[in-house]
Structure 1
Amino acid sequence: MVMATIDGSIVIIAMPAIFRGIGLNPLTPGNVTYLLWMIMGYLLVQSILVVSLGRLGDMFGRVKIYNLGFLVFTLASIGLSFDPFSAQRGALWLIGWRFVQAFGGAMLMSNSAAILTDAFPEGQRGTALGINQVAGISGQFVGLLLGGLLSAWDWRAVFWVNLPFGLFGTVWAYKSLREIASTRKARIDWLGNLTFAAGAGVLLTAITFGIRPYHSDPTGWGNPMVFGGLILGVAFLVLFCFIESKVKDPMFRLSLFRIRAFAAGNIASLLGAIARGGLQFMLVIWLAGIWLPLHGYDFKDTPLWAGIYMLPLTAGFLVAGPISGRLSDRFGARPFATGGLLVAACCFTGLMLLPIVFPYWAFALLIFGNGVGSGLFAAPNTAAIMSSVPAHHRGAASGMRSTFQNSGMSLSIGIFFSLMIAGLANTLPKTLAPGLTAQGVPAAAANSIAHLPPVSTIFSAMLGYNPVQNLLSQAGVLNTLPARNVATLTSKQFFPHLISGPFHHGLMIVFTAAALMAVCGAAVSWLRGKKPEASQELSEPLEVAAAD
C-alpha cells in the first residue's frame, strides 16, 4: 500500500528533475498537458480500475490478483526508469508506463483491504486495517519527501526506489500468501466493466482538463468539450447503474449501498478525500512559492524543503491511525471517524487564520492536527465499510471504497486548483502589472503577462521554478531589461511579496471549501449507525486468505 500510494505523489516534487532529464519545459503552453497527465494520470487509472479488479479478486482469487499486482507494478517501474526518448516522446513514454504502474497499484489497492478483512476477526480488523489504511494515506505525503531527495541525485532514482521493494514483495507474495478464501465463479460483466470505466474515465478526464485555461478564460470549465465530458461521464455511470440492476452476475451489486454503514462510510470517505486531497498541493505552493523564498531558500530547492516542512502532517497520520483503529475495535467506528473529520475541519479553519508569512510552530501544529484528524477517520471508516458487507463481496466492496477515495482526490485537485486559479485571476493582475512596470517592464508586456491564466504561475511555484523569471522568459522581455532590474525581478523576495495578497485570498476560498467538505463528511459519518449491519447477517462461515 505504501508503494502504491507513494507513487501517486512522488513525481510531484521530482517533476522539474524529470522534465529536465528528458529535455522538456513543462510550463510552456503546449506542454502543460504532459504535466497534468503526469500528476493526474496515475490517480485516474486507479480510480477507474479498482472496482473491476476487486470483483475479479472475488471471482478468481484475491491473492492471485494481489500477487500479479506486485509483478506488474515492478515491471512498470523498470520501464519508467529506462526511458529511451527525449522531449515529447519521452514524456509520452513516462505517461504510458505510469498508466501501467497505476494498473499494478490498483491490483494491490483493490484486494489488500479485502484480504486483511478476511484474515482478521471483527475485533481486530480496525487495528489491521488502520495500519494498512494509514500506511496508504501517509504514503501520499512520504512520496513528496522521497521525490525531492531522490530527484536531487538522479531523476530515474524516483522509479528505481520501487525495484527492491517490488522484487522482494513479488517473491514474498508468491511464496507466502496462499488462497484460502473461497471464490465464486461467475461470468465477467463486460458491459458493466466497460460502462463504469468509460463513465469514470471521461468524468475524471473532463475534471482534469477543467484546470487548463480555455481561450481567455483562466480555467477550462467553459470549454464545451469539458462540459460535454461531464455530461457524457454521468450518462455512462447512469447506464452502468441500469446494467448492474439487470444482469445476473453484476460487476458490483448496487444493493450493497442499502447497507447504511457501507453507503455512509463511502460517502464520508469521498467528502474527506475531497477535503484532504488538494491540501498537499496548496501547502506545497504556499511553502515553495512564498514562505520558503522569503526565508532565504532558492526556488529550485523549495519543493524538497516543502516536503520536509510538511512532515508533521505525515506524523499526525502515523500517530493517530493505528491508535484509532485499535480503539474503534472496542468502541465502534462512528465516534472516531466523525471526530476525525471535525478535527480536520477545525485545522482547516486554523490555517485560514494564519498570516501568509506564519510562525512555523503554528503551521506545524495545525498540519499535525490535520494529519491526526485524517488518521482518526481513515482506519475506523475503512474497518466499518469492510465489516459491513458479506464476505464474498469484499473484493468488489474494497474496490468501490478505493474508487470513492481516489475519485475524491482527483475531484479535490480539480476543484481546489480551479478555485485557486479563479481567485488569482481576479486579484493577481492588480498587483502583478504595477509590480512589473515599476521594474522597467514595458506596460504592454506587463499587462499581457498579468492577464495570462495563473495556471502557469501556480505550477511554477509548485515545481521549483522562479515564476516571474519563467513568465518574463516566455514573453521574451527578460533579456531586454537592465541587469539591476532583472536581479530585482528574479530575486527571492519579489514574487512572494507580489503574490502574497492574491494568494491568501485564494487560500481562504480553498480552505473554506475544505472545511465545509470535512463538516459534511462528519455529518454523513455520524449517520452510519453504531454497528455494521451486514456483518450480523452472514449465514456462511468467514473464509480467510492469510500468510503461511
Structure 2
Amino acid sequence: MQYKWVALSNTTLGVLMATINGTITIISLPAIFRGIGINPLAPTSFQYLLWILLGYNVVTASLLLSFGRLSDIYGRVRLYNLGFVIFTVGSILLSMTFGTGDVAALQLVLFRIIQGIGGAFLMANSAAILTDVFPLNERGRALGINQVAALAGSLIGLILGGILSVIDWRYVFLVNVPVGVFGTLWSYLKLKETSQRVGEGIDLVGNVVYALGLTLVLIGVTYALMPYGNSETGWGNPSVLASLISGLALLASFPYIETKVRYPMFRMELFKIRLFTAANFAGFLRSVGYGGLMIMIVIFLQGIWLPLHGYSFSSTPFWAGIYTIPLMLGFVSAGPVSGWLSDKFGSRGLATAGMLIVGAGFLALSTLPYDFSYPVFGSIIFMIGVGNGMFASPNTSSIMSSVPAKHRGAASGMRSTLQNTGQTVSIAIFFTIVILSLSSSLGPSISNALVQAGAPQLASYVSRVPVTGALFAAFLGYDPVKTILTSLPPSVVSQIPSSVIQLIEQRTWFPQAIAPSFMSAMREAFYFGALLSFIAAVTSAMRGKTKILEEVVQYDAEKKRN
C-alpha cells in the first residue's frame, strides 16, 4: 500500500474519533446530567452545560495555532501521535468520573479539557500530514474523504449516543477508548515524518499572548450567557467585561508582536496570499453562522418536539440522533463529490454555492411552526448538509494548497483555530439570541398556559423560573412545575383542583407551554445563521484562483514525468 493511503486512513481514524466524541456528547447530555444528579434549576447548573459543551472548544481553539507551529519545528507526525495518546487518556478519565452533583460535573469539565488538548494536537496536524503526502491533483479528494469521515463520525456519534446513554452514560466516553488505543498504536507504528522541518526556535511571547488573549475572550463569552443580577445574561457583568476587554487587548497586540519576534508562530505574510485569506475568513464566518445549529436543534427536539409527539424523555436522545441524520447524510453525499470536482475545476464556485445553499436552508427553517412536519424539516436540514459538504472540502483544500510546504503546519493550525473559535463563538451567540428572546416571551407564555389550564394563581410562581433554568430543564426532560408545586405553601396548592394539577404535571404540558416562545427565539437565531452564511458566500467568491508557484511547477513536472 502506498504511504499516502496509510496516512489518509490513520488521519481519517483520528478525525472519526474526534467527531464521534463531539456529537455523542451533545446527544447524551441529558443522560449524563441525570446520571450525576444535577438539578437544572440550581443557580450554578447552567454553567456546567456550557462548559461541557464549550470547554473542549475553548481549549482546542486556544492551542491549535501554537501546536500547528510546534509541528513545523518538531515534526507533525510526532505531535499528531501525542494527540492520540492524550485524547485516549481523557476518554478513560471521563468514563471513570465518580461522585455526583457539582463534584462530578467539575470532573467532567476538567477531563473534557484534557480531551481538548489531545484533540488540538490531532486537528492541528491531520490536514497538514495529508497535504504533505498527496500531490496537488489528488489533494481535494483526500481532504474530501477526511471531511466525510468527520461527518460520518458525527452521524455515528448521534446514533451511538442515543443507544449508549440509555444503557449507562459512562459508555458514552468509554466507546472512544478502543478506537483511541488502536489509533495510537497504528500511528506510532505506521506513520513516518515527511514534512520539511523548520529549524527555528519557539515564539514563547506570541504563544502566551495569543493563548491567553483567546482564552480570556472565550471565557468571557461563555460566562456572558449566565444570569447576572436581574438580567438573564451576563453581558453587563464587570468580570465578563474585564475578561473580554483584556482578552481583546492581548489579541490586538498579537499581530504587532509577531512582526517583532525572531521566530513568529503566526505567519502574517501568509495573509498576503489572497486565496489563503479569503478562504480562511469564509470558513470562520461559516463556523460562526453554523456552529450553534446542532445544539439548538437537539435541545428543541429533545425538550419539545419529541415529547409532544409521544416520546418518553429517556428515549429522546436516541430519536433526536435519528431525526438529525439527514443533516449528516447531506454532508456525506456532497463532501467527496465536491472534493473531486475542486481538484478539476477549482474551489471558488463550489464553496460559494455551498454557503448560498446553507443560507437558504436557514431561512427555510425560520418558516417552520414549532409542531412542524418532519419530512419538511428533514428535507431542509438535508439541504443545509449538502451546502456544507460543498463548502468544506474545497475550502480546506484551497487553504492548504495556497501556502509553501514549510508553512503547512502553521497554516493548518491557523485554519483550525479560526474554525474552532468560530464554532465556540457561534454556540455562545445562538444561546445569547435565544436567551434574550425568551427573557421577554417565556414568562407570559407560561402564565397564559397556566391560566388556560385553570391555575392562574401559579403564574407568579412559575414565571420566576430563570430562562436558563427553563431551557436546561426542557433539555433534560425535567419538569420544573412539579418542583415548584412541592415547594409551595399547602394553602396555595389546596386552591387548585386535582384535575388541574394532573393536567400540568403531564409530560407534555411544560414543553407545550414553552414551545411557542422557544420557536420564536429559534427563528431569530436562524436569521443570524442565514446572514453569516450569505456573508461567507461573498467572502468565498473573493478568493480568486491564485496558487503557490512552487506547487504548480511541481505538479507540471510530475505530469511530464508520467
Equivalent residue number for residue 3 of structure 2: none
Equivalent residue number for residue 272 of structure 2: 258
3-state SS, counterpart of residue 117 of structure 1: helix
Note the alpha carbon deviations across 1:491-539, whole angstroms, 9 max, x for none.
Answer: 2432333223212221221111100000000000000002434665889
Say which of 493, 508, 525 aligns to 2:540.
Answer: 525
Equivalent residue number for residue 503 of structure 2: 488
Q: CA 1:487/1:300 → structure 2, altered by over 3 Å: closer, same or farther?
A: farther
Distance 1:278 1:472 in 2: 34
Q: CA 1:436/1:191 → structure 2, altered by over 3 Å: closer, same or farther?
A: same
**Letter matched to residue 88 of structure 1:** D
Normalization by structure 1: what TM-score?
0.93
In the alignment, structure 1 residue 501 sits paired with structure 2 residue 516: yes
Note the alpha carbon deviations across 1:9-54, whole angstroms, 9 max, x for none.
Answer: 3222222322333333344212222222111101111111111111
In the alignment, structure 1 residue 516 sits paired with structure 2 residue 531: yes
Distance 2:161 2:486 in 1: 27
Contact 1:317 1:372 (8 Å CA) reproduced: yes
In the alignment, structure 1 residue 402 sits paired with structure 2 residue 416: yes
**Letter matched to residue 502 of structure 1:** S
3-state SS, counterpart of residue 29 of structure 1: coil
Q: Where do residues 55-134 of structure 1 align in structure 2 (5 Å cutoff)?
A: 55-134=69-148
Distance 2:288 2:327 in 1: 17
3-state SS, counterpart of residue 167 of structure 2: coil
**Letter matched to residue 107 of structure 2:** W
3-state SS, counterpart of residue 366 of structure 2: helix
Q: CA 1:448/1:487 → structure 2, altered by over 3 Å: closer, same or farther?
A: closer
Q: Where do residues 180-195 of structure 1 align in structure 2 (5 Å cutoff)?
A: 180-195=194-209
3-state SS, counterpart of residue 266 of structure 2: coil
**Letter matched to residue 30 of structure 2:** P
Count of paired positions:
541
3-state SS, counterpart of residue 178 of structure 1: coil
Q: CA 1:123/1:317 → structure 2, altered by over 3 Å: closer, same or farther?
A: same
Equivalent residue number for residue 465 of structure 1: 478
Q: CA 1:436/1:240 → structure 2, altered by over 3 Å: closer, same or farther?
A: same
Equivalent residue number for residue 214 of structure 1: 228
Q: CA 1:312/1:428 → structure 2, altered by over 3 Å: closer, same or farther?
A: same
Equivalent residue number for residue 560 of structure 2: none
Q: CA 1:67/1:290 → structure 2, altered by over 3 Å: closer, same or farther?
A: same
In the alignment, structure 1 residue 241 sits paired with structure 2 residue 250: no
Contact 2:46 2:468 (8 Å CA) reproduced: no
Q: Structure 1: 5+ residue runs without aligned partners?
A: 543-548
Q: State the percentage of identical aligned residues.
A: 48
**Letter matched to residue 296 of structure 1:** G
Measured after TM superposition, the shift of residue 382 of structure 1 is 0.3
3-state SS, counterpart of residue 217 of structure 1: coil
**Letter matched to residue 414 of structure 2:** M
Q: CA 1:240/1:496 → structure 2, altered by over 3 Å: closer, same or farther?
A: same
**Letter matched to residue 453 of structure 1:** P
Contact 1:43 1:406 (8 Å CA) reproduced: yes
Equivalent residue number for residue 158 of structure 2: 144
Measured after TM superposition, the shift of residue 468 of structure 1 is 4.2
Q: CA 1:405/1:529 → structure 2, altered by over 3 Å: closer, same or farther?
A: same
Say which of 266, 275, 280 aligns to 2:294.
Answer: 280
Measured after TM superposition, the shift of residue 94 of structure 1 is 1.8
Which deviates the most, 463-472 or 263-272? 463-472
Equivalent residue number for residue 309 of structure 1: 323
Distance 2:554 2:265 in 1: 22
Normalization by structure 2: what TM-score?
0.91
Contact 1:16 1:464 (8 Å CA) reproduced: yes
Say which of 416, 422, 425 aligns to 2:439.
Answer: 425
Distance 2:354 2:266 in 1: 29
Note the alpha carbon deviations across 1:385-405, whole angstroms, 9 max, x for none.
Answer: 010111111111111111111
**Letter matched to residue 25 of structure 1:** N
Q: Where do residues 195-210 of structure 1 align in structure 2 (5 Å cutoff)?
A: 195-210=209-224
Note the alpha carbon deviations across 1:139-162, whole angstroms, 9 max, x for none.
Answer: 345433322221111111011101
Note the alpha carbon deviations across 1:280-300, whole angstroms, 9 max, x for none.
Answer: 122112222322122111233
Q: Where do residues 259-408 of structure 1 align in structure 2 (5 Å cutoff)?
A: 259-408=273-422
Equivalent residue number for residue 463 of structure 2: 450
Distance 2:493 2:361 in 1: 45
Contact 2:442 2:514 (8 Å CA) reproduced: yes
3-state SS, counterpart of residue 327 of structure 1: helix
Note the alpha carbon deviations across 1:167-191, whole angstroms, 9 max, x for none.
Answer: 1101100110011222112211111
Equivalent residue number for residue 239 of structure 2: 225
Q: CA 1:194/1:218 → structure 2, altered by over 3 Å: closer, same or farther?
A: same
Distance 1:46 1:486 in 2: 48
**Letter matched to residue 213 of structure 1:** P
**Letter matched to residue 517 of structure 2:** P
3-state SS, counterpart of residue 85 of structure 1: coil
**Letter matched to residue 212 of structure 2:** A
